[in-house]
Amino acid sequence: MTGPGRSPLHGDHHTDVVVLGAGLTGCLAAWELARRGRRPIVLEAASVGAGATAADLGHVATGPRLLYVEAIRRWGREAAREAWEVQRENHDRLRELLAALDDDCGYRADGGFLLAEDRTEGEALAESEDTLREDGFSGEFLDHYMLESRFGVQGFAAAYWCAEDAGLDPRRLVAALAAAAEREGARICEGSTVLALESSDAGVSAATERGRVEAGTAFVALEAAAAGLVPFLKGRVTPLPAQWIDVQRDDALPLPSPARTCGGEIAWRVLPGGLRVVRFGGGVTGRPADERLEDFTRRHFAPASPRPGPRGAAVAGKSGDGFPFVGAVPGLNGAVACGYGTFGLGWVALSVRWAVDGLVTGRDAVPARFRASRGAAP
């Protein structure tokens, strides 16, 4: 995704805001900041979209990694409903962004699926459907007979179709955002790993191997790497490894897509010529994660004769409570947006808007549950 003029940072530069990271979050933040009169310099370690965005399937999910009934048990019903409402609002914001970009980025509002791998998860899905409907969220529960009669899968106990989910091409989106940010005056420097980020009341200083940016504020749009540059986030944003394989299929039967297992550990999406299957985190078994992904595809997508092909890996970031860190944090003259977990598109548009609004207006409108400063000593 390298574009013209995205050479590494050289020398000393001064601007009003420096953005760390050129994935979906960083490019969207740069565009929003530039449209509001700022002159962002974006520092990216590799190339646009090469970090956590590379593992993104483009699933615009409604609801975080927990099932609705599990979220209610953990947070209470009001807080669970709020989380789902926030992702619904985020989806609305994402559609507005696509319209502003004049590029639909392959957007399709066909819904998405949650798949239960055992009876207990299936029962939780059925219970979640009833409660979601009561709280205003549309969907359909499918038992394993209904599921296997409609789709080319086997071995799942049940599924839930979420009517409000959607899918898009995240690589096309990040490329469009980067180009839009540059048209508005942002500068993107690829191959520019930030080695140190210093912050004071006077501003921030971001140092790379060959240069330095002095700025009034910083917008940290990194995932797992954010904790290494923002001390407050250490132990709060932790690495979430992601590995994927692309799979070709002979069977013409449709697959539920985009889809994820109930725990969010495995997800997939049908792409031209096959599908991509991703595994997020998980325990260590002594076997390569891509080998376990091959087992998964053969077990659940047979008799489609799945043939594993290209594969890759990336590292996202996650929080301990399942909510991203957004806005101001102690010890940083600026804002962050990170810790999205497995499905960043469910949070990113609204998170960036909240964080950018805070930087530009000085008013913190981030809901308490999402504030990056949560857990700070009073």
7-24, pLDDT tens digit by residue?
999 999 999 999 999 999
* Banded pLDDT at 251 (limits 50, 70, 90): low
pLDDT of residue 284: 45
Range in 11-15, 226-230, 251-255, 337-341 the model is least confident about: 251-255
pLDDT of residue 205: 99
Q: What is the DSSP letter of 322?
A: S
Q: Report H helices in 143-205.
A: 144-150, 170-183
8 Å CB contact between 40 and 17: yes
* Banded pLDDT at 75 (limits 50, 70, 90): very high
Burial profile 324-346: b = 16 or more Cβ within 10 angstroms, e = fewer: bbbbbbeebbbbbbbbbbbbbbb
CA gap 36, 31 in Å, rounded = 9
Residues β-bridged to residue 211: 11
Mean pLDDT value of segment 204-212: 98
Mean pLDDT value of segment 121-145: 97
- The model's pTM: 0.94
pLDDT of residue 312: 87
Over its C-alpha atoms, the chain yields an Rg (Å, rounded) of 21
Phi and psi at residue 145, to the nearest 5°: -70, -45
pLDDT at 305 over 70: no
pLDDT of residue 81: 96
pLDDT of residue 188: 99
Give the pLDDT confidence of 236-250 residue by residue, as tens digits: 999 999 999 988 877
pLDDT at 197 over 70: yes
Structure tokens at 194: 């930030």
pLDDT of residue 263: 83
pLDDT of residue 306: 61
pLDDT at 126 over 70: yes
pLDDT of residue 275: 87
- What is the overall mean pLDDT for the chain? 93
- Higher pLDDT pick, 49 / 377: 49
Mean pLDDT value of segment 314-327: 94
Structure tokens at 169: 């091409």
pLDDT of residue 241: 93
8 Å CB contact between 24 and 348: yes
pLDDT of residue 295: 87
What burial class does residue 27 get, using C-beta atoms within 10 Å of its C-beta: 0-12 exposed, 13-18 middle, 19+ buried?
buried
> Taking Cα atoms as reference points, which of 70, 69, 75 lies closest to residue 321?
75
pLDDT of residue 118: 96
Mean pLDDT value of segment 322-342: 96
